[in-house]
Amino acid sequence: MKLHELKNTPGAVHRKKRVGCGEGSGHGKTSTRGGKGQSARSGSSIRPGFEGGQMPLYRKLPHRGFNNYEFRTEIAILNVGDLALLDATVTEANAVTLAAAGLIRGGEKTVKILGDGEITRALKVTAARFSASAKAKIEQAGGSAVVG
């Protein structure tokens, strides 16, 4: 297959709707804009939420309260079973080594280890938080769970 041999799937390409080209086309006279009024004029646009001069709903409702979204703490979550995917040469698991292995996103600082899965080798795992079951599984395998 070469670049000049490529073809679109049948039905993928539609012709442009030509408006204002006579009554026989089905898009003549008002050119699909309906009757008279603001929306029939060229260059007209009505902003979202505009209700024709009536007090818009977003202005009727009270705007109170606080949203924590901007101040939230992003926590990267990782299961004990995922630690088994680390290279056999790795003896310490922290945010940097986990990001290098592709288990969490780069730049994630806060990591929480959860207890799903099994771990068979001893690892020194450094994370901000551990679930009780994760800590138990890491220590049972001969490793250590360091909060830091």
Domain ranges of the chain: 74-141
Rounded to two decimals, what is the model's pTM?
Answer: 0.58
The answer to whether 45 and 52 are in contact (CB under 8 A) is no
Q: Give the whole-angstrom CA distance, residue 104 versus residue 119.
A: 18
CA distance 130 to 71: 22
Residue 134 has pLDDT above 90, yes or no: yes
pLDDT tens-digit map of 52-106:
999 999 999 998 999 999 999 999 999 999 999 999 999 999 999 999 999 999 8
Mean residue pLDDT of the chain comes to 94
Best CA proximity match to 137, nearest among 145, 146, 147: 145
Looking at residue 104, its amino acid is I
pLDDT of amino acid 107: 87
- 74-141 folds as Ribosomal Protein L15; Chain: K; domain 2 (3.100.10)
The reported pLDDT for the residue numbered 141 is: 95
Rounded to 5 degrees, φ, ψ at 96 are -70, -50
